[in-house]
A and B are shown apart, each in its own frame.
Chain A
Amino acid sequence: MTAAVQAIAMFTVGLFALLVVVNRDPARQVVAMGMFGTSLAILFLVLQAPDVALSQIVVALAYPLMVLLTLSKVKERRR
């Protein structure tokens, strides 16, 4: 039972990581990155590491935000 949950979580992480890499547009990659971060936090929780899961949740929140801000600044510069 535990092994099944762990396998599903790992498979989901791999799927979302593939999704991030396959997208070429950075704005879409940011959305995929948010999903990937959440699934990674769930994987850490399933593997019995709640400290790491807590950190991962907040970092997966802050990092796409920074990417989006950089993107908007770069687009404005180019205009």
Chain B
Amino acid sequence: MNVRARAALFAIAGASTFVLLVWGLAGLPKFGHYGGPYGAVLNRVELRERHATSVVASVVFDYRGFDTAGEEFILFVAVMAVAMVLRVQREEKEAGSHARLGARALGDTSDAVRVAGILLIGPAVLLGLYVVAHGHATPGGGFQGGLVLSSAPLILYLVGRYLSFRRLNPVSLLDFGEGVGIGGFVVIGLIGLVAGIAFLDNVLPLGRPGSVFSAGTLPVINLSVGLGVAAGIVLILFEFLEQTLMIRRR
């Protein structure tokens, strides 16, 4: 097919797609206009039913909790895929732990980066734990808090030697933490089944709305998801760093 025929085909397809796009965009509701009923219904009933001041968290972990369980497994599979693809293959070998890694791993990190990083590690861990623990009361939750928590080992890698970062992150412990975190979601759901009600239904007492120990099983699910996500993201970064810095061709 020569260039002219291809151009003609593209012109036809492009024009029809453009017409459909404009027609679809013109039929959209106005920006900022919320038309659906679910938001209004949730605003009315959620605080009474679940005592959680963050409606987003209660939708994600209670009203649509089954979908979230599936999404956590997406993260789990992604970590597993990265670990499988970046494994040590037959024609590669891993440099020993006392290897001379050269300038790239030891890095010419400036002192400003080092000081800023060291000052940031503690607040990062604290902020991550805060976001995880208050997931049902304020914006955030297990996933976001787990991500913030996982940035602490990353800062450690930025400011220090890669070898000390490696010693601080034993892979078996991270694997265990990730499995416990993501499997814990399912286990908490199964507790609902064992107690005679639906999967992922609430079994703990609903406290005073706004306090940390409220909303029943929501804080427990948040803690478990936070642990799983933090361990998973650190595992992904660890695999990438291993592949770049430690694995060499034979």
Residues of chain A having any CB pair with chain B under 8 Å: 50-51, 54-55, 58-59, 61-62, 65-66, 69-70, 72-73
Contacts and interface: CB of A to CB of B under 8 A. Distances in A.
Contacts, number: 45
B139 A66 contact: no
B185 interface: no
Interface residues of B, number: 20
Nearest to B247: A73
A51 B104 contact: no
Contact of B139 (A54, A65, A70): A54
Contacts of B143: 55
A62 B154 contact: yes
Contact of A69 (B131, B151, B243): B243
B82 to A, nearest CB: 9
Contacts of B233: 62
Nearest to A76: B244
B244 A69 contact: yes
Is the contact region of chain B dominated by helix, strand, or loop, or is it mixed? helix
B56 A51 contact: yes
25 contacts: A50-B139, A51-B56, A51-B140, A51-B141, A54-B131, A54-B139, A54-B140, A54-B147, A55-B143, A55-B144, A55-B147, A58-B144, A58-B147, A58-B150, A62-B154, A62-B233, A62-B236, A65-B237, A65-B240, A66-B236, A66-B240, A69-B241, A69-B243, A70-B240, A72-B244
A51 B241 contact: no
A52 B153 CA distance: 22
Contact of A72 (B104, B144, B236): B104
Given A62-B233, A65-B154, A54 B148 contact: yes
Contacts of A70: 240, 244
Interface of B: 56, 104, 131, 139-141, 143-144, 147-148, 150-151, 154, 233, 236-237, 240-241, 243-244
Contacts of A55: 143-144, 147
B151 A61 contact: yes
Which of A58, A69, A73: most chain B Cβ within 10 A? Answer: A58
Given A50-B139, A66-B240, A61 B148 contact: no
Contact of A58 (B56, B148, B236, B241): B148
B200 to A, nearest CB: 20
A32 to B, nearest CB: 20
Contact of A73 (B150, B154, B244): B244
A61 B56 contact: no
Nearest to B138: A50
A66 B131 CA distance: 25
Contacts of A66: 236-237, 240
Contacts of B154: 61-62, 65
Contacts of B141: 51
A28 to B, nearest CB: 20
Contacts of B150: 58, 62
A78 B141 CA distance: 43
Contacts of B148: 54, 58
